[in-house]
């Protein structure tokens, strides 16, 4: 296993999932996640499966803690896994409810009024989307119960609503919404409540969190929630055996297409809540429940043609253009084929009838060819010998031209991303335009852009983007190394190399790299090979940026507690690292022990609470990076 690469992939897949643009199915994500965990256990590694992999956090929303942890249910994909759960769990009555396919939300009520609405996040804290939740038509602003209570559920969009929204978007020439889950996620996590209201979102509860009322059972809790004016589940059944559960599972699989809402499995819980504490929690997953996931939905269509796309590594990916097929509110016209081997494995020809699978709501993939429906006149698929974008000769179905516009676009997107150089506002469309005009052709060229370059690429606010680029020039060495596209060298490996070699990393010998913890032979070889080919380019880039070497840890901020809220000029992770290396503590919520709230746009309820409590404030809106760090360094001298 290429451990570093797998961790980076998990982070990317998690981010794309919560942005509403999943790249892989839930099943593939769980398989990769479990493989990484097993590798860490076998090799005695500190787990890299941190909250940023298992979180729905989105930039631009204030973070708030849940009053009680908001756990996830463990996904179970087959009957063998279900049998194992039954074998190690006490015999008890089980509730069976829909496993909603939306975005989880925690509603806090006190004195009968809606106080806040927080997404699941990492289970401990999530994004504050209260204002958007208030426009969801079936979330009551007031309930009968007057004590404090957290009511938890899923934000959904019906298939009918998706179809109607897409019909209007098509008339308006706007990009269509991909599916109900993506549309719900994008509607809830939007800066405008007007957009949230226009999505006609709905909320379906599935449980309670913190509460002054003690519930004896899941059915009792759901009955109570219903009495407060919330929607009832599509179905709620009780079972006492595996057989009864399997019978319901098979019945719902057959009937789920009739529902106007997407569900992707059954939510199975022990009904008797007195057993929940005894059974406990394993990581983020309660032992008293599980999600019995449905298999992928299969459809038939016809392959009309094949197009070829260039991936970020230069690999050529064939994509099948298929006869339109309507899948749960979305008209599908293409299906991924991955590579030449997949075409040969399937025995696929143009004109074939194929079975495609929905696979977790990403672009469907072809499962198999329906050979008995093959008509006369099908055409053999001929793989290209040159790149479809730059026309360079391919080597083993890979474009090796570093200047290929498609490859360059992917490299630059990686370089400017949040955990690398963090150039906000430089998205895919802008980079693609700048590559096509010739203004961007390597990493260094980003920092040579002019206002005229940006205007030629139709950038709406060129002066603002140039300012963001200038601010991004300052970067730590580990981020620099992890940003420049060295195969298999991500942020974790970049830190290991930065710590071991400092600014001498360019000449790091292979033997020393092999002995560096977290690097080893494969990454060491990739690093040395990259430097042999790109050393001059890396040196040119180093000449136009300001590389910072992280300082040794100190205790100058010992006893000082900070809270960060909203968007700040310095990336949150960098700010947190700066404070912690000086002995300070970064907390997630404002309390009487908070020394200083560092805030920017979108600070929300944390800012209001800090003002109410008289906590010291630092507004970073018009401050430079240097001014922010200087004020942090002197904060211990300020009486709190």
Residues 6+ apart with CB under 8 A from 65: 124, 125, 588, 589
- Using alpha carbons, select from 78, 53, 88, 77 the residue that is nearest to residue 287: 88
What CA–CA distance (Å, rounded) separates 246 from 79? 8
Cα distances (Å, whole numbers) of residue 445 to 398, 431, 438, 440, 542: 25, 12, 10, 5, 12
Q: Cα 35 to the chain's mean position, in Å? A: 19
Burial class of residue 78 (count of CB atoms within 10 Å of its CB; 0-12, 13-18, 19+): exposed
**Euclidean distance between CA atoms 213 and 210, whole angstroms:** 9
Pairing of strands 349-350, 379-380: antiparallel
Tokens of 336: 């991924």
Q: Which of 11, 63, 99, 365 is catalytic?
A: 99
By DSSP bridging, strand 474-476 and strand 546-548 are parallel
Give me the sign of the Cα torsion angle 130, 133, 135, 139.
negative
**Nearest-angstrom CA–CA distance, 558 and 316:** 53
Q: 585: part of which helix (H) or strand (E)?
A: strand 585-587
Residues 6+ apart with CB under 8 A from 232: 222, 226
What is the number of other CB atoms lying within 10 angstroms of the CB of residue 597? Answer: 23
99 is catalytic: yes
173 bridge partner residues:
none
Cβ atoms of residues 356 and 373 within 8 Å: no
Nearest CA among 73, 87, 80 for reference residue 123? 73
Task: List, in sequence order, every residue forming a beta bridge with 564; answer none if it has no partner.
Answer: 598
**Closest CA relative to residue 101, chosen from 157, 143, 63, 144:** 157
Other beta carbons within 10 angstroms of residue 152's beta carbon come to: 20
Active site residues: 99
């Amino acid at each position: 296993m290429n451990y570093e690469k797998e961790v980076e992939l998990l982070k990317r897949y998690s981010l794309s999932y919560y942005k509403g643009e999943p790249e892989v199915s839930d099943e593939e994500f769980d398989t990769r996640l479990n493989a990484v965990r097993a590798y860490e256990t076998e090799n005695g590694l500190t787990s890299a499966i941190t909250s940023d992999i298992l979180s729905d956090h989105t930039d631009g929303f204030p973070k708030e803690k849940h009053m009680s942890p908001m756990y996830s249910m463990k996904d179970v994909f087959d009957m063998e896994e279900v049998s194992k759960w039954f074998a190690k769990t006490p015999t008890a009555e089980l509730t069976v409810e829909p496993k909603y396919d939306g975005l989880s939300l925690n509603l806090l009520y006190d004195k009968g009024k809606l106080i806040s609405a927080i997404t699941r996040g990492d289970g401990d804290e999530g994004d504050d989307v209260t204002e958007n939740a208030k426009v969801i038509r079936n979330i009551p602003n007031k309930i009968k119960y007057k004590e404090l209570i957290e009511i938890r559920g899923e934000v959904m969009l019906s298939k009918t609503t998706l179809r109607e929204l897409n019909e209007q978007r098509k008339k308006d020439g706007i990009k269509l919404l991909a599916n109900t889950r993506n549309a719900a996620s994008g509607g809830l996590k939007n800066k405008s409540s007007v957009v949230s209201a226009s999505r006609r979102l709905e909320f379906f509860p599935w449980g309670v969190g913190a509460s002054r009322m003690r519930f004896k059972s899941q059915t009792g809790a759901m009955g109570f929630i219903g009495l407060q004016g919330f929607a009832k589940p599509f179905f709620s059944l009780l079972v006492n055996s595996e057989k009864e559960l399997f019978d319901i599972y098979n019945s719902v699989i057959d009937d789920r297409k009739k529902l106007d809402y997407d569900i992707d499995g059954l939510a199975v819980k022990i009904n008797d809540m007195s057993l929940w504490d005894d059974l406990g929690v394993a990581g983020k997953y309660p032992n008293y429940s599980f999600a019995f996931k449905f298999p992928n939905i299969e459809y038939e269509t016809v392959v009309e043609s094949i197009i070829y796309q260039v991936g970020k590594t230069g690999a050529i990916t064939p994509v099948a253009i298929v006869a339109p097929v309507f899948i749960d509110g979305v008209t599908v016209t293409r299906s991924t084929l991955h590579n030449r081997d997949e075409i040969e494995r399937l025995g696929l020809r143009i004109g074939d009838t194929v079975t495609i699978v929905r696979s977790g709501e990403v672009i469907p993939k072809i499962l198999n060819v329906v050979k008995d429906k093959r008509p006369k006149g099908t055409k053999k698929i001929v793989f290209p010998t040159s790149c479809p974008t730059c026309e360079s000769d391919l080597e083993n179905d890979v474009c090796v031209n570093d200047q290929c516009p498609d490859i360059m676009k992917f490299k630059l997107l990686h370089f400017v991303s949040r955990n690398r150089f963090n150039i906000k506002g430089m998205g895919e469309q802008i980079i693609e335009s700048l590559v096509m005009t010739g203004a961007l052709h390597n990493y260094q060229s980003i920092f040579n852009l002019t206002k005229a370059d940006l205007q030629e690429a139709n950038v709406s606010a060129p002066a603002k983007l140039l300012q963001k680029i200038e601010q991004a020039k300052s970067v730590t060495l580990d981020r620099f190394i992890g940003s420049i596209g060295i195969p298999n060298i991500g942020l974790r490996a970049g830190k290991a190399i930065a710590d071991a070699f400092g600014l001498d990393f360019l000449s790091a010998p292979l033997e020393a790299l092999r002995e560096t913890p977290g690097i080893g032979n494969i990454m060491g070889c990739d690093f040395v090979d990259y430097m042999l080919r790109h050393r001059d380019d890396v040196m040119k880039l180093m000449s136009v940026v300001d590389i910072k070497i992280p300082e040794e840890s100190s205790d100058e901020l010992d006893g000082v507690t900070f809270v960060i809220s909203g968007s700040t000029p310095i990336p949150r992770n960098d700010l947190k690292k700066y404070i912690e290396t000086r002995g300070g503590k970064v907390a997630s919520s404002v309390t009487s022990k908070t020394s200083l709230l560092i805030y920017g746009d979108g600070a929300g309820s944390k800012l209001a609470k800090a003002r109410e409590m008289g906590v010291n404030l630092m507004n970073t809106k018009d401050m430079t990076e240097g001014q922010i760090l200087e004020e942090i360094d002197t904060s211990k001298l300020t009486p709190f």
